[in-house]
Amino acid sequence: MTDTPITAPQPDTLLAHAGGGLDPSTGGVVPAIQPATTFARDAEYRLISASHLYARDDNDLSRQIENLVMRLEDARDTRVFGSGMAAIAAIVRAVKPGDSIVVQSGIYWGTTAWMRAHCAHVGIALVEADATETERFTETIRESGPALVFLEVPSNPFLAIADIRAIAEATHAAGAVLAVDATTATPLLMKPLALGADLVCHSGTKALNGHSDVLAGLVSTADADSDMWRFIRAERHDAGAVLSPFDGYLLQRGMRTLALRMERMCTSAQKIAEHLDAHPAVEKVLYPGLASHPGHGLAKAQMNGGFGYLMSFLVKGDAPEALAVIGRLNLILRATSLGGVESLAEHRHSLEGDSSGVPRNLIRLSVGIEAPEDLLADLDAALSGLPA
Ligand SMILES: *Cc1c(COP(=O)(O)O)cnc(C)c1O
């Protein structure tokens, strides 16, 4: 007998097999959807299945998704939620009134807006700071002594790259917990826990599901015994922000092709970013895959296999010029959200307004899996007619 080395399957393989989610009772090569909310007991009042009591926490598809994402993140435990915001809220609610939170400025507007409202409501000091200024940001952590530091890498819509390793060190020195929202990277491109973060979260609504038909969120931890994780687990179990079995089915099905989709989306995004960067009607492109991006070196060190599917570009002009470009798109859809198989363009300033700091001439672009030449042709046609 020869010793065969046991190697863990690659992430692509884990994803294709949905982490091994066969239906054990039939051998079905896709898992079954179990819509029951409650599970029966036998005459001796024993549960027929010891791991099935009530659907709020006993959803096999959610368990399979959690196990898969845990393996992709090299995490110790994972919980899936009913949306990305529910996942983020579970983390933030762990912070007690009177404590403080340091959060990266210029991140997903929904996170910023909810954190401001929540912290004001319960009496938590919220400190917003630019995380790309590593020294000043870590100084802010030392000064404010927070319970939680929250980053988004790469950030949406600015594609800013924070130094996770350096910020993790400063966070731990201050006795705080570092959470990273890595939605725009997915676990395939970046593993924040390996860079020192304590928690990593995702909106599963975006590239993980990838088909714009499910709301979901995920949180994974590097330490399954921490107080923070106990709180988050209880929050998911008791506060009830769970995923439905049907959404679990769609999320798991979508994730099977994540590796393939990310390959195409990252390659196309890189091509498009380079093309737009050289376009006379474009003032600036924000994409970490461009050598000219201020976070390019850091992104290269922190990410693997691509720089993601999201970018923003500033057209020459103001809001009317940006809206005119978006209005001339024929293929790329005008819609919010990101990470789907269909490319989406959005004028963030129209949603967030002046106080958010989003430039009026910024167009956010989520690159899908369409033929890249079709996307380039659509963008070129939409950009034509603008002053060069
Ligand atoms: C969309 C998004 C969220 C929120 O996720 P939902 O699933 O829409 O609740 C959080 N963070 C980032 C970076 C996002 O893009």
What's CA 331's distance to the chain center, in Å? Answer: 25
Digitized pLDDT (tens) for each residue of the chain, 388 residues in all: 445 556 788 999 999 998 776 677 888 888 899 999 999 999 999 999 999 999 999 999 999 999 999 999 999 999 999 999 999 999 999 999 999 999 999 999 999 999 999 999 999 999 999 999 999 999 999 999 999 999 999 999 999 999 999 999 999 999 999 999 999 999 999 999 999 999 999 999 999 999 999 999 999 999 999 999 999 999 999 999 999 999 999 999 999 999 999 999 999 999 999 999 999 999 999 999 999 999 999 999 999 999 999 999 999 999 999 999 999 999 999 999 999 999 999 999 999 888 889 999 999 999 999 999 999 999 999 999 755 4
Q: Fill in the DSSP letter of residue 342.
A: S
Of ligand 1's listed atoms, the one at least distance from the Cα of 204 is 7
149, β-bridge pairs: 102, 178
Question: In the chain, where does the domain assigned CATH 3.90.1150.10 lie?
Answer: 258-383
Average pLDDT, the chain: 95
The secondary element (H helix, E strand) that includes residue 301 is helix 296-302
Q: Please tell me the distance between residue 206's alpha carbon and the centre of ligand 1 in angstroms.
A: 7
Question: In the chain, where does the domain assigned CATH 3.40.640.10 lie?
Answer: 11-255
Ligand 1 — pocket residues by CB below 6 A?
83-85, 108, 110-111, 152, 156, 181, 183-184, 203, 205-206, 215, 217, 338
**Which of 88, 150, 203, 351 maximizes ligand 1 atoms within 8 Å of its Cβ, making it the mutation to test the pocket?**
203
Name residue 303's amino acid: M
Spell out the long-range contacts of 40-48 with Cβ–Cβ below 8 A and sequence spacing 24 or more.
Answer: none
- Entry pTM: 0.96
Q: Fill in the DSSP letter of residue 132.
A: T
Q: Please tell me the distance between residue 203's alpha carbon and the centre of ligand 1 in angstroms.
A: 5
Token pair recorded at residue 192: 């924040």
* Chosen CATH of 11-255 out of 3.90.660.10, 3.40.50.880, 3.40.50.261, 3.40.640.10: 3.40.640.10
- What is the spatial distance between Cα 160 and Cα 182, in angstroms, rounded to a whole number? 12
- Residues with catalytic function: 56, 108, 181, 206
Q: Please tell me the distance between residue 279's alpha carbon and the centre of ligand 1 in angstroms.
A: 30
Are 316 and 324 contacting, i.e. CB atoms less than 8 angstroms apart? no
- What is the spatial distance between Cα 312 and Cα 194, in angstroms, rounded to a whole number? 28
- What is the spatial distance between Cα 370 and Cα 375, in angstroms, rounded to a whole number? 7
Q: Whose CA is nearest to atom 4 of ligand 1?
A: 84
Q: Please choose, from the candidates 342, 335, 336, 351, the residue with its C-alpha nearest in 3D space to the C-alpha of residue 309.
A: 342
Domain covering 258-383 assigned CATH 3.30.360.10 in the classification = no
Of ligand 1's listed atoms, the one at least distance from the Cα of 88 is 10
pLDDT in tens, 55-102: 999 999 999 999 999 999 999 999 999 999 999 999 999 999 999 999
Residue 388's pLDDT is what? 46
Of ligand 1's listed atoms, the one at least distance from the Cα of 107 is 13
Q: Please tell me the distance between residue 385's alpha carbon and the centre of ligand 1 in angstroms.
A: 34
Q: Please tell me the distance between residue 43's alpha carbon and the centre of ligand 1 in angstroms.
A: 46
